[in-house]
Structure 1
Amino acid sequence: MIRLATEADIARLVTMRWDFTIEGDPAKGEASFLEFEEECTTFLKDALTNNRWFIWVAEKEGRIVSHTYTELVHKVPRPGRVTHPFLFMTNVYTSPEVRNEGIGSQLLQSIHQWIKDNQFEFAIVWPSDEAVPFYKRNGYQRCAEPLEFLSGKANE
């Protein structure tokens, strides 16, 4: 079952976000889970009500096993055309015990249909090197790299 997350899902989403981060960088497991839980819970409560973030979940046997966070980005209008928002996708994660069962691809297919139904212009994601084949199998392609300015805070 694929659906949008609700407030009842917050505890599971917090745990999955922690697991996702620790899986990619075990040293981050030394951080305080309680501090993270408080910050992440606050973020999720706001995200689930602000109509900017849409958190998609996939359930198997009544348990959330995969999720994707999508943020709707509104563009500045342009003369001569209707301006549609685009989607920034992040924090795509599937629990290790159900990987390679097609759940992540089903989740993306649902999001792709939602993008088409709502006439969003495009979706972007910055995948890890390991995730590139997954996205390519699901219709994503490389595009010109954006420019970025790093404030120095990102590496602290």
Structure 2
Amino acid sequence: MTTDPPVPTDLTVRPALPSDARFLAALRWAFKREEHEAPPDTAPPLDEAERWIGERLGGGRWLAWVAEAGGEIRGHVFLALVERVPEPFADNDSLGYVTNFFVEPAYRNQGAGTALLDALTSYARGARLETLIVWPSERSDPLYRRSGFRPPAELLELPLPTDGGPTS
């Protein structure tokens, strides 16, 4: 019989660094495996995800925060900054796209997710982002709503087919 490890009381949240890319890529793969039984044979190798994450975190357009416990990264959340086209009548503050929010199962419902989202929203307020947007999963929706996220009043979406054909 296996049991989950005890949740350490030393949970800390910090900005992710490019040097965290390997751990973040591994957690990304764990996150996606929760939704699917096994990756397809054509799945990109973990090294590609590590390189992609490391390049983005070093470039300033993507940010991430990690939750650490027991000396290991146990969760993360990413923020993509979306610039707005300048115009003369507004501040043109950027938007933030929240994505890739994952906490290892043994550390869920222990405050790690809330701490990660608090760090991200604190940054967003300090950076004067106008809005944060997210496409929540069914599991994450309650956390986002507790944190003040609401359905938008003014948003349209056009899903585009991945095969290049018409949408239904």
State the TM-score, normalized to the length of structure 1: 0.89
Counterpart-to-counterpart distance in 2, 1:153 and 1:143: 29
Structure with higher helix content: 1
Match of 2:116 in 1: 107
Which residue of structure 2 aligns with residue 42 of structure 1? 51
Identity level (%): 30
- Aligned structure 1 segments of 4 or more residues deviating by more than 3 angstroms: 30-33
- Residue 16 of structure 1 corresponds to 27
Question: Quick one: distance in 2 between partners of 1:126 and 1:18?
Answer: 19
Q: Does the 8 Å CA contact 2:66/2:74 hold for their aligned counterparts?
A: yes
The answer for the alignment partner of 2:6 in structure 1 is: none
2:97 is equivalent to residue 88 of structure 1? yes
Give the gaps of 5 or more residues in structure 1. Answer: none
SS in 1 for 2:47: helix
3-state SS in 2 of match to 1:54: strand
1:120 aligns with 2:137: no
Q: Which amino acid aligns with 1:150?
A: L
Distance 1:32 1:81 in 2: 46
How far 1:82 moved relative to its partner? Answer: 1.5
Deviation of 1:60 (Å) = 1.0
Shift of 1:48: 1.5
Relative to the length of structure 2, the TM-score reads 0.83
Larger radius of gyration: 2
2:131 counterpart of 1:146? no
Q: Which amino acid aligns with 2:110?
A: E
RMSD (Å) for aligned C-alpha atoms: 1.8
Question: How many pairs are equivalent?
Answer: 152
**Partner residue, 2:82:** 73
